[in-house]
Amino acid sequence: MSSRWITETLYEQEGLTTAYRADKLLYEENTGQQHLVIFDNPVFGRMMALDGATQVAERDEFIYHEMMTHVPILAHGAAKKVLIIGGGDGGILREAARHKSLEKITMVEIDPAVTEFSKEHLAMVSAGAFDDPRLDLVFADGTVFVAESRESYDVVIVDSTDPVGPGAVLFEESFYRNAKARLAPGGVIVTQNGVPFLQPAELTSTVEKFRRLFAVASCYLATIPTYVGGPMAMGWGTDDTSLTDVPVETLRTRLAAANFETRYYTPEVHKAAFALPRYVQKAFPA
């Protein structure tokens, strides 16, 4: 039997597609919210795609999840409450749960099917984190949650899909404004902002909106092999100007106190991630 190829169509209109050989198809369904497919690939292991865009791959997910999580938490230095918007695969939750200093982790996922199928087929990603007693798992629209909630969080992590389909609302200024209202003083928001080499407009749009809301509106970078086209940008918004430039030695001390090992994140990588190539800087609005 010939293998099926799963095609990523995110950049199809720009003239680029990427295909992954599915040696084993584990699940495929239109959930009512999104088209979801989970399969095994010989290079990247188990993978999940939503609406033609790769969301997570077993062998490189640690890069994205560590950088989305540890950079804001360790930059903050005293976070007690974290809000995750999206992240149904549980990877951000897993990394947040490694910080024993956190008192509460709220995760808001719009589609229960994504979480349930991830628990079953991508259990290595969440690694039991859904059982953490500090977790408050809410199945709801993230835009509605931040608009209606009155709780405050030290860190908000927006682990969204790309700005197409249901994920598009998570890139609107009204969402960012309401998310900021959920931040405690000195808090920070981090967003998934795509690959600037192929999606500069996505980063431009977010930074432009962040500038109207935050004292610091920027991004940092990490290279994740399955997200083709160069390093991925993580949007960064905060009113605490010191969080962008925490000394490496301070980050070392905080990581040592957290007392866990990472596979990608280091204090040095954290610091360097904010050093942006010229073409990324040029994606910022003038």
Per-10-residue mean pLDDT, the chain, length 286: 82 90 90 79 93 91 98 98 94 98 96 85 94 97 95 96 66 91 98 93 94 97 95 98 97 98 98 98 91
Residues of the chain with CATH 3.40.50.150: 61-281
Active site residue 239: no
Tell me which CATH homologous superfamily contains domain 61-281. Answer: Vaccinia Virus protein VP39 (3.40.50.150)
CATH classification (class only), 4-56: mainly beta
pLDDT of 229? 92
Please give the full DSSP string across 180-222, using - where no structure is assigned: HHTEEEEEEEEEE---TTT-HHHHHHHHHHHHHH-SEEEEEEE
The secondary structure of 267-278 as a DSSP string is: HHHHHHHT---H
Q: Side chain identity at 117, as an amino acid letter?
A: F
3-state helix, strand, coil in the chain (%, to 5): 35, 30, 35
Q: Where in the chain is the domain with CATH 2.30.140.10?
A: 4-56
pLDDT for the residue 163: 61
Q: Residue 35's pLDDT is what?
A: 81
Q: Which of 40, 60, 159, 162 is catalytic?
A: 159
Handedness of CA 243, 244, 247, 248 (dihedral sign): positive
Nearest-5° Cα angle at 197, 196 to 199: 55
